[in-house]
Amino acid sequence: MPRRMTGTRVTWTIVGLLLAALGGLVYQQKDAWRAPFTGRVVTVADGDTLGVLRGAREVRVRLYGVDCPERSQPHGVAAKQFTSAHCFNRDVEVKVLDKDRYGRIVGEVILPDGSSLNRLLVEAGLAWWYRQYSKDRSFGELEAQARKARRGLWADRNPEPPWEYRERERERGGRAP
pLDDT in tens, 106-162: 999 999 999 999 999 999 999 999 999 999 999 999 999 999 999 999 999 999 999
Q: Is residue 109 part of a domain?
A: yes
For the cut 60, the answer to whether the pLDDT of residue 94 exceeds it is yes
Query: Can you tell me the distance from the alpha carbon of 135 to that of 113, in angstroms, rounded to the nearest whole number?
Result: 25
For the cut 90, the answer to whether the pLDDT of residue 11 exceeds it is no
Indicate which residue of 54, 62, 108, 143 is catalytic: 62
Q: Is residue 99 part of a domain?
A: yes
62 is catalytic: yes
Distances from the Cα of 22 to the Cα of 9, 17, 34, 111, 164, angstroms: 20, 9, 20, 37, 47
pTM of the shown model: 0.81
Q: Is residue 8 part of a domain?
A: no
Indicate which residue of 40, 60, 104, 151 is catalytic: 104
Distances from the Cα of 117 to the Cα of 21, 57, 171, angstroms: 39, 22, 32
Q: Is residue 104 part of a domain?
A: yes
147 is catalytic: no
What pLDDT shows up at residue 25?
A: 45
Number of domains in the chain: 1
**Residue numbers of the domain that contains 147:** 36-171
For range 73-102, the mean pLDDT? 97
> Which one-letter amino acid corresponds to residue 62?
R
Q: Is residue 130 part of a domain?
A: yes
Q: Which of 153, 23, 136, 7 is nearest to 78 (CA)?
A: 153
Q: Is residue 18 part of a domain?
A: no
- For residue 65, give the CATH number of its domain: 2.40.50.90
Q: Is residue 58 part of a domain?
A: yes
* 13-32 pLDDT per residue, tens: 565 556 555 554 444 567 88
Indicate which residue of 70, 108, 123, 143 is catalytic: 70
Q: Is residue 141 part of a domain?
A: yes
Q: Concatenate the DSSP letters of all residues of 157-168 into one string.
A: SSPPPHHHHHHH
What pLDDT shows up at residue 32?
A: 87
Handedness of CA 38, 130, 101, 82 (dihedral sign): negative
104 is catalytic: yes
